[in-house]
C-alpha cells in the first residue's frame, strides 16, 4: 500500500526519510527559494508513491538512491529551465519523464491528497486527481478503502476494462463501416466556433484518434492479464478510459463534421468533456466496488467473531 504520511513508516525508515528531505530542503532553499516548496512537494509525493507501510530503512535507501545526493537538488533548481533533467520545472510548470504504474496512479487517484491539480504523471504540465474530486463531491471518504482498489474483484476490473475496449471498438467499427462513404479528406481541426479549419487524409484523420484509444487500451489489457497490482490495474484502466474517450470524441466530431455539417460551436467542447467524465466514473466505480467488498468482508469477520 502506498504511503500517505510519515507516521505509517517504522521509526528507522521514518528517520531516514526525514533526514533526506531535510537535506534537500536546505539545498533547494539556498539555491532557489521561489521554487523550493513546489519541488519539495513533488519530491515528497514521488517518494511516498515508491514506499509502502512495511518499507524498511534499506527500502527507503534504495528509493532515494534514484534522486542522488541532496545537494543535486540545489543545482537542478538553478537549471529549472533545462529539460534534459528527468524531473524538474520548465517555465514554472512541473515535468517528469519517469513513469511507473504506482507513480501514475498516485497522480490520478489519491483521495487522501486534497489537491485536484497534480504534477503531470508523464511529460510537462499538470494532471487531474480524480480521487480529490470524488472526496469534494462527497462521493467517497478520503480513507474509504484500506488499500485503493485492493479488494476489487477480477470481475469488476473486467467490467471496467470493457469501457475503453468498447470506445476503441466504436472508432474502428465506424471507420470500417463508413470509410467508403467518407470523402478522401476529413476534418482534423476546429476553431473555437466549431468551424473546421484543417483537413487531413481519411487514413490520417482515423489513425490519430484510433491511436489514442487502441494504444492505451492495449496497455490496460496487458496490466489486467499480467495480474499487476490492483492499484496499477485500476490506474491503467482509468488512463485508458480517458484516452479512449478522447479518441472516440475526436472521431465522432470528425464524422459529424464530414457527414452532417455544419457543427454547432458547442460540439468540440461536448466531445472533449467525456475525457474527464468517463475516467472519473470508471475510477469511482472501482473505488466503490472495493469499498463494498471490504464492508462485506468486515461484516463476515464480525459475525464470525460473535459466534466464537
Output the pLDDT for position 306: 59
pLDDT digits (tens, 9 = 90+) for 17-63: 888 888 877 777 766 565 566 667 777 777 777 777 788 888 888 87
| Residue 27 DSSP symbol | H
| Of residues 295 and 99, more confidently modeled | 295
Rounded mean pLDDT of the chain? 79
The arithmetic mean of pLDDT across residues 185-195, rounded, is 82
Is 242 within 8 Å of 275 (Cβ atoms)?
Answer: yes
Of 64-73, 151-160, 292-301, the poorest mean pLDDT is in 64-73
Output the pLDDT for position 11: 86
Strands (DSSP E) found in 126-249: 126-128, 185-190, 196-201
Strands (DSSP E) found in 150-239: 185-190, 196-201
Closest CA to 280 of 91, 83, 135, 66: 135
Output the pLDDT for position 66: 66
Q: How long is the chain?
A: 308
C-alpha cell at 42: 513533488
pLDDT digits (tens, 9 = 90+) for 79-124: 444 434 444 544 444 445 555 556 666 778 888 777 777 655 544 4
Report the b/e string of 147-166 with b at 16+ CB within 10 A: bbbebbeeebbeebbebbbe
Amino acid at each position: 500500500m502506498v504511503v500517505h504520511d510519515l507516521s505509517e513508516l517504522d521509526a528507522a525508515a521514518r528517520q531516514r526519510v526525514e533526514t533526506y528531505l531535510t537535506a534537500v530542503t536546505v539545498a533547494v532553499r539556498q539555491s532557489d527559494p521561489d521554487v523550493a516548496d513546489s519541488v519539495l512537494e513533488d519530491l515528497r509525493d514521488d517518494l511516498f508513491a515508491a514506499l509502502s507501510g512495511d518499507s524498511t530503512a534499506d527500502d527507503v535507501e534504495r528509493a532515494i538512491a534514484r534522486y542522488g545526493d541532496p545537494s543535486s537538488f540545489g543545482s537542478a533548481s538553478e537549471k529549472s529551465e533545462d529539460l534534459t533533467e528527468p524531473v524538474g520545472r520548465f517555465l514554472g510548470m512541473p515535468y517528469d519523464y519517469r513513469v511507473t504504474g504506482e507513480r501514475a496512479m498516485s497522480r490520478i487517484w489519491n483521495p487522501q491528497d486534497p489537491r485536484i491539480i497534480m504534477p503531470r504523471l508523464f511529460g510537462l504540465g499538470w494532471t487531474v486527481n480524480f480521487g480529490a474530486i470524488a472526496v469534494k463531491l462527497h462521493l467517497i471518504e478520503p480513507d474509504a478503502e484500506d488499500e485503493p482498489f485492493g479488494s476489487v474483484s477480477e470481475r469488476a476490473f473486467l467490467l471496467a476494462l470493457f469501457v475503453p475496449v468498447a470506445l476503441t471498438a466504436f472508432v474502428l467499427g465506424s471507420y470500417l463501416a463508413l470509410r467508403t462513404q467518407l470523402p478522401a479528406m476529413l476534418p482534423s481541426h476546429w476553431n473555437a466556433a466549431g468551424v473546421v479549419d484543417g483537413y487531413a487524409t481519411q487514413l490520417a484523420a482515423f489513425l490519430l484518434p484510433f491511436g489514442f484509444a487502441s494504444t492505451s487500451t492495449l496497455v490496460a489489457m496487458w496490466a489486467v492479464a499480467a495480474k499487476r497490482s490492483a492499484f496499477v490495474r485500476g490506474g491503467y484502466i482509468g488512463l485508458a478510459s480517458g484516452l479512449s474517450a478522447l479518441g472516440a470524441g475526436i472521431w465522432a466530431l470528425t464524422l459529424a463534421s464530414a457527414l452532417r455539417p455544419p457543427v454547432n460551436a458547442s460540439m468540440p467542447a461536448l466531445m472533449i468533456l467525456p475525457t474527464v467524465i468517463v475516467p472519473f466514473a470508471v475510477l469511482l466505480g472501482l473505488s466503490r466496488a472495493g469499498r463494498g467488498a471490504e464492508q462485506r468482508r468486515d461484516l463476515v469477520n464480525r459475525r464470525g467473531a460473535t459466534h466464537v
